[in-house]
């Protein structure tokens, strides 16, 4: 039986991850592997052709479940979209404890490295395209976000290095760095910043709004799978408004 096309989404229960699954379903993919951390979505049956697998970014062994699934399936892995990410506590650097630095660095960056090392044969065999979610904060370098910004800068450096190292296998690696996205994570960030009037805050943003999850997810899926992006690797795209 010929191998069929598949994609793998990390952090697929998140706001951007979920929309990424929907965008992938509109492409010609027979099978999608999706990771959850705490619980799979309640309406699992709504996700046609999606296999949900538990993944804990801070546990090196956790990737074995995904590896076993890929070994059992006869799939051609076309895309890996990495949407895992946790925010900082929004304290200043002088007030942030070491545990927070280590947790963000491990979850936001090292887990990507561990994932790639463990799955490299499948990614190389499929000449898969890898898309990593960073953040526009790496451009802004705002105050009181040190561990998050530093973890995403580390993730970007890792992804750009990987793009050069893995090109010989036909693997492409690119980064999307969105500004604030309409999501529970954004609401959480605004509350940590002490912003209570959401409407007023939106007026301060370019175009008076955040990005939508669709704008981010569709960009990720297009970059990974659409023919017009096949030349492009080792690039970082800021989904932001420079106005
Ligand atoms: N939302 C924004 O405004 C925004 C802006 C710029 C960049 N980004 C980046 O875009 C990505 C997706 O953001 P989002 O808004 O979709 O975030 P989200 O809704 O909080 O989703 C994060 C995902 O990561 C998973 N996750 C968290 N900790 C994990 C761990 N230790 N092990 C395994 N999985 C873990 C979560 O699983 P559970 O749900 O099971 O915990 C969830 O699936 C992140 O990298 C984020 O930094 C977001």
For 175-225, what is each residue's pLDDT tens digit? 999 999 999 999 998 998 899 898 999 999 999 999 999 999 999 999 999
How many Å apart are CA 40 and CA 53, to the nearest integer? 8
How many Å apart are CA 237 and CA 58, to the nearest integer? 27
C-alpha pair distances (Å), 4 with each of 1, 73, 140, 212? 9, 9, 41, 31
> Maximum distance among all alpha carbons in the chain?
58
Q: How far is the CA of 11 from the centre of ligand 1 (A)?
A: 6
Is residue 83 in contact with ligand 1, taking CB distance under 6 Å? yes
Q: What value does the mean pLDDT take over residues 161-181?
A: 98
Is residue 126 in contact with ligand 1, taking CB distance under 6 Å? no
241 — phi, psi (to 5°)?
-115, 115
Q: Comparing C-alpha atoms, which of 59, 68, 63 is closest to residue 35? A: 63
How far apart are the two ends of the chain, measured CA to CA in Å?
52
Share of residues in the chain with pLDDT > 90 (%): 87
Beta bridge partner(s), residue 211: 181
Position in ligand 1 atom list of the atom nearest CA 211: 3
> What's the token pair of residue 104?
């963000």
Confidence of residue 90 (pLDDT cuts 50, 70, 90): very high
> What's the token pair of residue 56?
């804990």
Q: How far is the CA of 107 from the centre of ligand 1 (A)?
A: 10
Residue owning the nearest CA to atom 38 of ligand 1: 37
Query: Would you say 221 and 188 are in contact if contact means Cβ atoms under 8 Å apart?
Result: no
Is residue 57 in contact with ligand 1, taking CB distance under 6 Å? yes
Rounded to 5 degrees, what angle do the CA atoms 139, 141, 143 make? 155
Confidence of residue 100 (pLDDT cuts 50, 70, 90): very high
Q: What is the mean pLDDT of the chain?
A: 94
> What's the token pair of residue 12?
């697929």
Choose which residue among 18, 55, 84 to substitute to test ligand 1 binding: the one with the highest number of ligand atoms within 8 A of its C-beta.
84
C-alpha pair distances (Å), 107 with each of 88, 93, 121, 198? 11, 19, 23, 28
Is residue 48 in contact with ligand 1, taking CB distance under 6 Å? no
- Looking at the predicted structure, is the pLDDT value of residue 3 above 70? no
Is residue 112 in contact with ligand 1, taking CB distance under 6 Å? no
Helices 98-105 and 146-166, axial angle in degrees (round to 10)? 30
Residue ranges of domains in the chain, CATH in brackets: 4-181+214-239 (3.40.50.720)
Q: How far is the CA of 114 from the centre of ligand 1 (A)?
A: 17
Q: How far is the CA of 106 from the centre of ligand 1 (A)?
A: 14
Q: How far is the CA of 168 from the centre of ligand 1 (A)?
A: 30
Confidence of residue 1 (pLDDT cuts 50, 70, 90): low
Looking at residue 46, its pLDDT comes to 73
How many Å apart are CA 185 and CA 5, to the nearest integer? 31
Counting other chains too, the contacts that 97-100 makes at CB distance below 8 Å and 24 or more residues apart are 100/147
Q: What value does the mean pLDDT take over residues 43-56?
A: 86
Is residue 216 in contact with ligand 1, taking CB distance under 6 Å? no
Query: Would you say 233 and 166 are in contact if contact means Cβ atoms under 8 Å apart?
Result: no
- Looking at the predicted structure, is the pLDDT value of residue 2 above 60? no
Q: How far is the CA of 104 from the centre of ligand 1 (A)?
A: 12
């Amino acid at each position: 039986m010929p191998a069929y096309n598949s994609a793998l989404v990390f952090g697929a229960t998140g706001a951007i991850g979920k929309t990424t699954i929907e965008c992938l379903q509109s492409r010609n993919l027979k099978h999608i592997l999706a990771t959850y951390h705490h619980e799979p979505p309640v309406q699992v049956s709504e996700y046609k052709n999606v296999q949900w697998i538990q993944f804990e970014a801070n546990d090196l062994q956790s990737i074995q479940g995904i590896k076993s699934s890929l070994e059992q399936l006869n799939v051609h892995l076309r895309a890996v979209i990495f949407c895992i990410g946790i925010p900082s506590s929004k304290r200043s650097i002088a007030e942030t404890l070491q545990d927070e630095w280590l947790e963000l660095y491990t979850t936001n960056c090292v887990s990507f490295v561990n994932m790639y090392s463990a799955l490299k044969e499948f990614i190389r065999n499929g000449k898969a395209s890898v898309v990593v979610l960073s953040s526009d904060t790496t451009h802004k370098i705002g105050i009181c976000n040190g561990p998050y910004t530093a973890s995403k800068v580390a993730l970007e450096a890792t992804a750009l290095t990987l793009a050069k190292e893995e090109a010989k296998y036909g693997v492409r690696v690119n980064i999307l760095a969105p500004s604030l996205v309409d999501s529970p994570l954004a609401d959480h960030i605004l509350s940590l910043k002490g912003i209570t009037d959401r409407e007023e805050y939106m007026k301060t943003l370019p175009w008076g709004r955040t990005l939508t999850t669709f704008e981010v997810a569709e960009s990720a899926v297009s970059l990974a799978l659409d023919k017009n992006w096949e030349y492009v690797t080792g690039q970082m795209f800021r989904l932001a408004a420079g106005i």
